[in-house]
Structure 1
Amino acid sequence: MDTTVKVAVIYYSATGHVAQIAREISEQAEKAGAEVRLRRVAETAPRSAVDARPEWAAHLAATADIPVATAEDMLWADAVIMGSPTRFGNISAQLKQFIDTLGPAWSQGLLAGKVYSGFTSTKSPHGGSESTLLALANSFYHFGGIIVPPGYTHPDKFADGNPYGTAHTCGADAAAVGETTRNAARVQAARVVRFARAVRTA
């Protein structure tokens, strides 16, 4: 029996912070022995809005080579790790739009029994990271998924301070993702692969 775990890392990122976490999670999942698909969801904002923020337009151009997520990526995966920036304490419209396309797969029970986990990025320390991750989990519940949070299971998670998932705070200066967040992402990725492998071989 093939015991290789398949992990889909599906995310939306406007200016790159969530994308950095997504890459870290993907790399760690591969190191843990998983086959990984890194996928971005489609940009749905008007081009005028994107172009009004140079860093947004630059990031969109820089990640054009990353395949756009489809429902097939969800069906392929044993585990799905989703990421979104915080939007008023909730997930982005772009990621929500992708989730809303999964109705046919959900209605056939094809999203059930998979492992799910989430990550996010916010501007301020109390900018809604926890509520965003909890909101994302609402969809996982409806899918019939097995939610695997990182929890406080490793010293790097105590440093990161978020048991619900990996969360980066970029601050007013839009700081790049640092080692505290990257370490937390590695813990989360390894934990997801471990539990997905257990589910797959059960």
Structure 2
Amino acid sequence: MRRVRETLYPELIEKFHVPIETNNNIPEVSLEDLKWADGLAIGSPTRYGNMAGGMKTFLDTTAPLWSSGVLYGKPVTFFTEASTIHRGHETTILTMSTYAYHFGMIIVPLGYAIPEISSTTTGGSPYGASHLGSKKELDENERKIARFQGRRLAQVARKLKCP
């Protein structure tokens, strides 16, 4: 697990109680991390229906990986969190996925292969797992969907590595 550098102004972090200190022990992501990983699960909190600025800033630095083609054919999946149900979960995932199209990555969506997708208003959509942040803790549907998404990414990565 890696994190991007936070780009929110300190006064906004304080005002909105963003728990930055809980991430201090997680290493910051590097371009090298994207190279060695067999598959990528990329997540971001929702900011006005889009990924957070720190994620956008990091993804904007990946041009050397694009020009070398090192991510071509690598599987990737996306997840998000927003404070309300209609705060842009799906659009956040879609904005992150545009990078994957440019890299020629293989996008691994959830689809409707897990029944919880059809019976939840908080845990995700066919695009990827999500969390309703106003609840603080993940509910059981959110956990099932996220675990399913992780297993699916691992299965696809494993199949792509087989000769």
Same fold (TM over 0.5): yes
Tell me which residue corresponds to 1:51: 14
1:44-193 maps to which residues of 2 (within 5 A)?
A: 44-53=7-16, 55-56=17-18, 59-159=19-119, 160=123, 162-171=125-134, 174-193=135-154
Query: In 2, Cα distance between the equivalents of 1:44 and 1:124?
Result: 22
Tell me which residue corresponds to 2:157: 196
Aligned-residue Cα RMSD (Å) equals 1.4
Check whether the contact 2:124–2:131 (CA below 8 A) recurs between aligned residues: no
Amino acid at match of 2:52: S
How far 1:45 sits from its partner (Å)?
Answer: 2.2
How far 1:147 sits from its partner (Å)?
Answer: 0.4
Query: In 1, Cα distance between the equivalents of 2:12 and 2:50?
Result: 20
How far 1:161 sits from its partner (Å)?
Answer: 5.1
Check whether the contact 1:41–1:98 (CA below 8 A) recurs between aligned residues: yes
How far 1:123 sits from its partner (Å)?
Answer: 1.7
Tell me which residue corresponds to 1:19: none
Query: In 2, Cα distance between the equivalents of 1:84 and 1:161?
Result: 14
Amino acid at match of 1:201: C
Query: In 2, Cα distance between the equivalents of 1:161 and 1:100?
Result: 26
Percent identity, please: 38
SS at match of 2:77: strand
Q: Which runs of 5+ in 1 are unaligned?
A: 1-37
How far 1:127 sits from its partner (Å)?
Answer: 1.4
Query: In 1, Cα distance between the equivalents of 2:77 and 2:159?
Result: 15
Tell me which residue corresponds to 1:41: 4
Check whether the contact 2:90–2:127 (CA below 8 A) recurs between aligned residues: yes
SS at match of 2:126: coil
Q: How many pairs does the alignment contain?
A: 160
Q: Which runs of 5+ in 2 are unaligned?
A: none
Check whether the contact 1:89–1:132 (CA below 8 A) recurs between aligned residues: yes
**TM-score with structure 1 length normalisation?**
0.75
